[in-house]
Chain A
Amino acid sequence: MKLSAKTATLLVLALLVAVSPFFFPSGYYYRVGALIFVNGIAVTGIVILTGYAGQISLGHAGFAGIGAYACALAPVHLGLHPALAVVLGGAISAVLAFLVGRPILRLKGYYLGVATLGFGILVSMVLNNERELTRGPDGIEVPELGLRGVLKDWGLDLTNGEFWYFFCGLALILGAWLALNLYGSPTGRALRALHGSEVAARTVGVDVARMKLQAFVISAVYASVSGSLLALQNKFITPDVAGFMHSIEMVTMAVLGGVGSVLGAIFGAGILTLLPQVLTVFAEYEQLVLGLVMMVVMIFLREGLLPSILRRLRGTGE
């Protein structure tokens, strides 16, 4: 029996999440793994926006910032449970993406890039400057999610690292499942159609503006949840989460791995999250390496690493 691409992708992901810990040299790698998954979630959103619908955003870290700060602020100021704060962050991001996306998505190509960039910077500035609320650039502590304690009461005693590793792993698989469902669905087809030719998509009845907006809103929620999970596991967050570099990171990860494929993009997130951990020198030259990676991939591997490798393996390389 031939596995569908969707089932295969989900199986590979589940296996990676389940089996990788057996190869971890130390408990520290649970944390690295959890970071990869958190980035993987944001990047899956980029796949929907850029890979499916062909729209670019250079400001998605803004939504990650909203998700992160929702988890820092809502429990304290609104008395919300942190888990509900994740939902609130996602809802705020969705509404903002809807409002901001309506005018922005009329733009094309680099105009769209610049407009989304502006949005990201705006969020970042608010987080930096509203010191009364966010405590500015120094960051703010984030309450405990509390789920680990519940699991312990049920007899499942995980270390903090293990808990976040598996929790984020599950969240990523869920996110990938949604994105893969979307791919072959009527909505996904319409998104890929307008990516291929807006003119043709319109003539078959696709409301291009509306579909773009849907993709933008969905991907914003992905970024928001990613930001929330980052904040919750670090128990501390700074405005850097909404910074320009973070937006660029998301796009680079997706493009590096292959923006048209969920698994490819997550693979890209894995590489770019792992690299700075393995090569500590990399940390100082992060921006340089990101730029270099972007250029090399654009020139030599337009489809991204994973799709290019798979093509070679199947022997259908150019």
Chain B
Amino acid sequence: MTREAREALLSVEGLGIAFGGLKAVNDVSFTVRPGEIVSVIGPNGAGKTTLFNMISGVYLPGMGKVKLMGEEVTAMAPHLLARRGMSRTFQNLQIFQSMTVLENAVTGYHLTERGPVLADLLGLPSSRRRARASEEGARRLLARVGLERAAEREAGNLSYGSLKRLEIARALALNPKILLLDEPAAGCNAVETEEIDHLIAEVAASGVAILLVEHDMKMVMRVSNHIVVLDHGEKIAEGDPATVSRNPAVIAAYLGAENADG
């Protein structure tokens, strides 16, 4: 089946934003389908994270639309996007430092475990049941990302690579339809990167759409079904890994214009 034949889960249409006259992202469009891994690549400052922040409701886009399962969700508050099945991780880790690893993962179950505040205050059985169910789920997820033995440790004490995986576990706890991963392998060693690789492929295989921003080109080429290339906030190329890696504009952007000319 061709890519276009399937219904898009996420479509980004002409998205753009300017910071004080500087167009950080300009008129970017692409789609992500269920079970597909789409990567956004580009040199530093190309606007990848800005794009992510617009899609996930952190920034208000200056132009364009974001659609989730056909419905417009442009500039929707992040907690409402979460309810619609969007989940994300952050480039510069957003971990709850003073919580344990387990509790960090459990927060990902907020939407399924939340209930009346009065029941929580009184410690009613219903409240304890909700809390216990999400703890069990979180333990399974920690096992899946290889952190089960660190469950009771304070998250702030974990290594960078472990925290990256913890963030993925927390994002998966939402049982998302689309998962946005912002440089999941940054700061990880080769072994950890490979583990994250497998994890991403596994999650995608279960039907989740994945949008990835990543600097590790080998990883991007390995895992992606489809690649969107940004440079100076504009989309300069798009296609499968092989096509994109041969694209002259992409090579120029990465190596610098002089090298491409010469």
Interface, chain A (partner B; CB < 8 A): 177-178, 181-182, 184-190, 192-193, 196-197, 199-208, 214, 218, 260
Contact = CB atoms under 8 A, between A and B. Distances in A.
Interface in B76-109: 77-79, 82-83, 87-88, 90, 94-99, 103, 106-108
B117 A214 contact: yes
Contact of B90 (A189, A196, A199): A199
Contacts of B96: 192-193, 196-197, 200
Contact of B79 (A178, A181, A207): A207
B11 interface: no
Contacts of A184: 131
A114 to B, nearest CB: 26
Contacts of B58: 199
A289 B1 CA distance: 75
Interface of B: 56-58, 77-79, 82-83, 87-88, 90, 94-99, 103, 106-108, 110-111, 113-115, 117, 120-123, 127-128, 130-131, 134, 170-171, 173-174
A203 B113 contact: no
Given A178-B122, A196-B97, A204-B110, A189 B103 contact: yes
A205 B94 contact: no
B110 A190 contact: yes
Given A181-B120, A203-B56, A208-B79, A193 B99 contact: yes
Contact of B107 (A185, A204, A207, A218): A204
A202 B79 contact: yes
18 contacts: A178-B121, A181-B121, A181-B127, A188-B120, A189-B110, A192-B99, A196-B98, A197-B96, A199-B58, A199-B90, A200-B95, A202-B57, A202-B78, A203-B56, A204-B110, A204-B174, A205-B174, A206-B107
Contacts of B78: 199, 202-203
Contacts of A200: 90, 94-96, 107, 170
Contacts of B110: 186, 189-190, 193, 204-206
Given A181-B121, A203-B87, A206-B79, A186 B97 contact: no
